[in-house]
Amino acid sequence: MADIDGTWALEVATLAGSRRFDLTVTTEGTTLTGTAVGSTGPVPLRHGTAVGDTAEFVLDLAAPLPMSLVFELRVIGDRVTGTAQSGPFPPSSVLGTRTG
């Protein structure tokens, strides 16, 4: 199992520009919990799972527009790569590094 527990700086490259989230997560078994802090404040993770080197979770954002982002990330040491998907829009690429 990949070690995703800790804090991460995530950059999500959206069609509207880059968004940064400071992510703090912990695992218990395959359950992933935590909080992401972006420009509009803290947002709790929903439906978080961590299996093998893959982590998945949902963030429900209220601003600038209400939307849910579905994250699928692959943990590689102190880095993560993956995508964030919102509704019918194309997936956005996600890159991150461990900060703690």
pLDDT in tens, 46-88: 999 999 999 999 999 887 778 899 999 999 999 999 999 988 8
| Residue of 28, 26, 29 lying closest to 6 (CA atoms) | 26
1 CB neighbour count, 10 Å cutoff: 12
10-30 per-position pLDDT tens digit: 999 977 788 899 999 999 999
**pTM confidence score:** 0.92
Beta strands in the chain (DSSP E): 6-14, 17-28, 31-38, 41-51, 54-61, 67-76, 79-85, 92-98
**Phi and psi of 87, rounded to 5°?**
50, -130
Q: What is the pLDDT of residue 1?
A: 54
> Which pLDDT does position 96 carry in this prediction?
97
DSSP class of 94: E
